[in-house]
């Protein structure tokens, strides 16, 4: 394994359940983050444990999120609380001959660490540009850029992608020998996120439709 | 609002950010749980906060999960630790005239509480039958049912759906008045989970293909 691309496990991220599904390739890990739009963040605040979904994006070796000053999530993470961030892509249901052997195909990443605040307007704008590129390449040149008041009202936080557990399941059913000849259908029922026809806003008169809108739908 | 169908907020689940997106209808809440297959569970163990994805299903007013005895998730939850479970369905990207006003359409539910262990083989089998119905209606009559050893090796936990925050965003972009006439495309880029062509296992000779497989793909 390439040293640069390796994500060596820590005590927290060593995969104990089905260790054969552990995947330590950094390119695979990053493709999970880049393909998904929403992560779930676990953190503690006021003696409660919370699990909150939010949009994410990646720049280099950091995962970024953003939010407003008033949010409990942002305030707690900005205060430096230990956190765990999970991203999961579901790829299908795996139907086996026996009920017990049913499973799912998925790609997941669980990140551990602490978020840090991205300081400085230039740094914040640069991070937001990467987010806009993820939404649609070229869009950052079209939409009105954030002004100083808007940038100031947006908190951007990032977490280093150093302590992670990546788990991938992408195979057919695995039945016991004694079940293999049962007259039961077995196989994979695939699932994937697809893109539907764009809904045009009414105030788009005289607006040239960008290619990323024209080609959006699958 | 129907009292039975109401999900009154607690101090923890009162939605402070964008409260206009809060949705307190139980049917909507349950449709989010029933349409999704994977939840993310936040919990603390050994002084760390974790966020772990797992399959879920619903039966009446409880959310169910399952797992093996050895899993840290199951062991921690079975010990009665306070938890938060989040489920999010992404419905689309919302592109506005200004960068700051971009958002996403989604349906999310965050549940707070404690899991409890489902005791007794009959109760466990009954819960697993509901899970199998979710995977494919009728399948529980086809696949080999779990035997006593398999049932004993499976832990089933459930959490009461009483303390929840449901949040729904399903509208077009909301730009400031001064941005509305900018020559920038605005609208919704929809996303949805779709179902692909089934992958048939090789040991399916002489097996009648069930209707739920034939009609699976969108």
- Minimal CA–CA distance to A133: which of A46, A58, A193? A58
Inspect the interface and report whether the beta carbons of B38 and A106 lie closer than 8 Å.
yes
pLDDT single digits (tens) B171-197: 999 999 999 999 999 999 999 999 999
CA dihedral over B14, B18, B20, B22, signed as positive or negative: negative
Q: In chain B, which residue's Cα lies nearest the Cα of A47?
A: B82
On average, the pLDDT of chain A sits at 92
Q: Which of A143, A153, A180 to mutate to test the interface with B (most CBs of B within 10 A)?
A: A143
On average, the pLDDT of chain B sits at 92
**Domain coordinates in residue numbering, chain A:** 19-214
For residue A67, list chain B residues with Cβ-Cβ distance below 8 A: 17
With a cut of 60, say whether residue B43 has pLDDT above it. yes
Inspect the interface and report whether the beta carbons of B104 and A181 lie closer than 8 Å.
no
Q: Which of A203, A205, A217 to mutate to test the interface with B (most CBs of B within 10 A)?
A: A203
What pLDDT score was predicted for residue A23? 73
Inspect the interface and report whether the beta carbons of B199 and A213 lie closer than 8 Å.
no
Inspect the interface and report whether the beta carbons of A52 and B207 lie closer than 8 Å.
no
With a cut of 90, say whether residue B200 has pLDDT above it. yes
With a cut of 50, say whether residue B3 has pLDDT above it. no
B15 near B168, Cβ under 8 Å? no
How do B62-68 and B57-59 pair as beta strands?
Answer: antiparallel
A127 near A145, Cβ under 8 Å? no
Report ipTM for this prediction: 0.93
Instruction: Provide φ and ψ at B145, rounded to 5°.
Output: -70, 155
pLDDT single digits (tens) B120-144: 999 999 999 999 999 999 999 999 9
Closest Cβ–Cβ partner in A17, A38, A181 for B90: A38
Cα distance between residue B2 and residue B122, in whole Å: 34
User: Which CATH class name applies to A19-214?
Assistant: mainly beta
Q: Which of B18, B203, B204 to mutate to test the interface with A (most CBs of A within 10 A)?
A: B203
Closest Cβ–Cβ partner in B67, B173, B195 for A189: B195
User: How far off is chain B from A70, nearest CA to CA, in Å?
Assistant: 7
Q: Give the fold, CATH level 3, of B19-192.
A: Pnp Oxidase; Chain A (2.30.110)
Cα distance between residue B59 and residue B30, in whole Å: 10
pLDDT single digits (tens) A152-209: 999 999 999 999 999 999 999 999 999 999 999 999 999 999 999 999 999 898 899 9
Inspect the interface and report whether the beta carbons of A173 and B135 lie closer than 8 Å.
no
For residue B139, list chain A residues with Cβ-Cβ distance below 8 A: 95
What pLDDT score was predicted for residue A4? 37
Mean pLDDT, 10 residues at a time, over chain A (218 residues)?
A: 51 71 84 98 95 98 93 95 98 97 97 97 96 96 94 96 94 94 96 97 92 96
Identify any residues that bridge with A159 across adjacent strands, giving them in sequence order.
Answer: A63, A115
Run of H or E including B52 = strand B48-55
């Amino acid at each position: 394994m390439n040293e640069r691309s390796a994500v060596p496990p820590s005590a927290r991220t060593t995969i104990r359940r089905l260790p054969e599904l552990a995947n330590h390739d950094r390119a695979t890990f990053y493709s999970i983050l880049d393909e998904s739009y929403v992560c779930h963040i676990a953190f503690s605040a006021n003696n409660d444990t919370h699990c909150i979904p939010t949009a994410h994006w990646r720049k280099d070796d950091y995962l970024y999120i953003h939010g407003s000053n008033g949010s409990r999530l942002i305030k707690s993470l900005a205060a430096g609380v230990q956190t765990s961030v999970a991203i999961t892509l579901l790829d299908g249901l795996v139907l086996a001959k026996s009920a017990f052997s049913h499973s799912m195909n998925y790609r997941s990443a669980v990140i551990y660490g602490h978020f840090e605040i991205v300081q400085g307007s230039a740094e914040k704008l640069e991070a937001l540009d990467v987010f806009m590129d993820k939404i649609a390449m070229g869009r950052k040149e079209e939409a009105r850029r954030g002004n100083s008041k808007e940038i100031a009202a947006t908190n951007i936080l990032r977490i280093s992608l150093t302590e992670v557990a990546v788990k991938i399941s992408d195979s057919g059913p695995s039945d016991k020998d004694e079940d293999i000849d049962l007259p039961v259908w077995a196989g994979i029922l695939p699932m994937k996120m697809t893109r539907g026809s764009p809904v045009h806003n009414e105030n788009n008169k005289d607006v040239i439709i960008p290619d990323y809108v024209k080609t959006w739908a699958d």
